[in-house]
Amino acid sequence: MKKVKLRAFWESQSVANRNKILLELADKCHNSIQTVRAWMLEYRKPQGLYRDALAEYLKDNFQVEITE
């Protein structure tokens, strides 16, 4: 499994993948798209269950582990 920083992973994705990730994580975490985008750009850090949901989603769908 590849280990990368969240922002580096985000920047490596195509626009179509970014939109898909935003929509799916916003729905899964019951947050706005702007909040999820802030997480992906590392302006804010997801806390608690949101962090776990984000890590699980990326691991299941992209085989990526996020480093701090």
Q: Find the DSSP H helices in the chain.
A: 6-12, 15-29, 33-40, 48-62
pLDDT confidence of 1, banded at 50, 70, 90? Answer: confident
Give residue 29's pLDDT: 93
Per-residue confidence at 55, pLDDT binned at 50, 70, 90? very high
Whether the predicted pLDDT of 68 surpasses 80: no
